Amino acid sequence: MNLDWVGNMVKTQIKFGTSGWRAIIADEFTLANARRAVTGIARYVVSQKATGAKIVVGRDPRFLGETLVALASDILSAHGIAPLAIAEPAPTPAIAYAVTCAGADGAINFTASHNPPEYQGIKFSTPDGAPALPHMTKAIEAAIVAFDADGVTPARTSSSPQTQALDAKPQFLARLKEIVDFAAIKKSGLKVAFDPLWGAARGYSDVLLRDAGIECATVHDVRDVLFGGHAPEPDDHLLNDLRAAMKATDAGIGIATDGDADRFGIVDEDGTFLQPNYVIALLFDYLVESRGWKNGVAKSVATTNLINALAAHHGVELHETPVGFKYIGELIMQDKIAIGGEESAGLTIRNHVPEKDGVIAGLLCCEMVAVRGKSMGAQLKELFNQVGSYYPARDNFRLTPEVKDAFTKKLAAPPAQFAGQKVTEVVTKDGLKLVLADTSWVCYRLSGTEPVVRIYSEAPSLAAQAKVAEAAKQWIFE
């Protein structure tokens, strides 16, 4: 447990990572710590806008969500900030869109995204609906420390701004209708199966499809704060119920979202799970074809180089960012990219929210399959024929303190040879990425919160990928 002594009391050190602060309920995530975090956010907002500020407050369906929204609303009001409270669970992208529609000064979102059910979290978004950038979260962390020191808690009075109710759903659904070609999906006769994994997207993707006359079967369409007893993560091994629904209804595609609907999972017509890497690449290619968008594409340093090859193929500028969707969000707001994505199943597109959106990802995949009249797998084979084959993988390894210290030093001295090949490029914008002579690559990223190293690797064949992945593991412990 990461702790910081304050006076005679032990205080949890609240640190905002790439997607906010997350912790285990009743361990580090307590109502007292939630108050500290929200107070830090309130102080930061007031430092940016002394009067007239308003903040959207939302949540996913996790335990304590309603209580936390009420708590945050009271704290914001006491600081002179008008809370715009969303009563029902809402997808993170819907909350992001609500910020811009309401002209708010940001959002507090109580969500632990795809983490297991025992977790809860707080995420802060900017007036653009984008994830807060590092300099903002550092200022919030400093404000929490200042609150711990002075303990000043203003009282809510009759003159404090009143909490206003906000429904994020209608405006977000209306926006999705403007983006996705539902008529083309209906015309194709494509049937869809949808799995919100008991999460915030319940009543979003499937409602839009059915309203357009498209047959859609839904599983896990009830609130369950335990998410079926596992993490609400739309990953291969957790989508068997979706596959069963596809088989029962003869659906041509299965789409899924995580707990707060910022991540996606796609199952092809034959039951094959499509790696997020491939989904991002396919949608990039499709948006160039269907929308004519060639202003740019963004991907994190750990995401497939199939996107690099497609960018060169289409003559589109490539932006490679550190891991963290806030960097892609910045490019969306500047209209520098048509699509941006990360291998961890997050993407968004041009003229949309600068935040991960698992809802739009799944719906656009439905449109792409309908318009092209081909399965996702068939489309991927065509991409490989056009620009070459790419086989990505990811592994996590826990390290002892001694091994972590030694490996950290190794990262500062990249090798000239790796896996029997010459290292042709060294990328250090996030961790260490080594590009090899045959276009294979490996990327190491140390976790900032636990003794874990994440290894991303990719190669032009499965055999080469296995070799690179094994060499990547061995290099840690050499």
Return the pLDDT at 450. 76
Return the pLDDT at 18. 66
Return the pLDDT at 380. 98
Could you read off the pLDDT tens digit of each residue along the chain, which spans 478 residues?
Answer: 444 444 435 588 999 876 799 999 999 999 999 999 999 999 999 999 999 999 999 999 999 999 999 999 999 999 999 999 999 999 999 999 999 999 999 999 999 999 999 999 999 999 999 999 889 999 999 999 999 999 998 988 889 999 999 999 999 999 999 999 999 999 999 999 999 999 999 999 999 999 999 999 999 999 999 999 999 999 999 999 999 999 999 999 999 999 999 999 999 999 999 999 999 999 999 999 999 999 999 999 999 999 999 999 999 999 999 998 989 999 999 999 999 999 999 999 999 999 999 999 999 999 999 999 999 999 999 999 999 999 999 999 999 999 999 999 999 999 999 999 999 999 999 999 999 999 999 999 998 767 899 999 999 999 999 999 999 999 998 8
Return the pLDDT at 4. 44
Return the pLDDT at 451. 86
**3-167: which CATH number, 3.40.920.10, 3.40.960.10, 3.20.20.70, 3.40.120.10?**
3.40.120.10
Q: Which residue has the tokens 């929200």?
A: 38
The sign of the CA dihedral 164, 167, 168, 172 is negative
pTM of the shown model? 0.94
Domain with CATH 3.40.120.10 in the chain: 3-167, 171-291+354-387
Which residues on neighbouring strands pair with residue 24, listed in sequence order?
119
CA distance 128 to 106: 7
Record: fold of 171-291+354-387 = Alpha-D-Glucose-1,6-Bisphosphate; Chain A, domain 3 (3.40.120)
Return the pLDDT at 10. 59
Return the pLDDT at 2. 45
In terms of CATH architecture, what is 391-477?
Answer: 2-Layer Sandwich (3.30)
Return the pLDDT at 447. 81
Burial class (CB in 10 A: 0-12, 13-18, 19+), 173: middle
The sign of the CA dihedral 366, 367, 370, 372 is negative
Return the pLDDT at 17. 77
In this structure, how many other beta carbons lie within 10 angstroms of the beta carbon of residue 215? 15
Domain with CATH 3.30.310.50 in the chain: 391-477
CA distance 325 to 303: 12
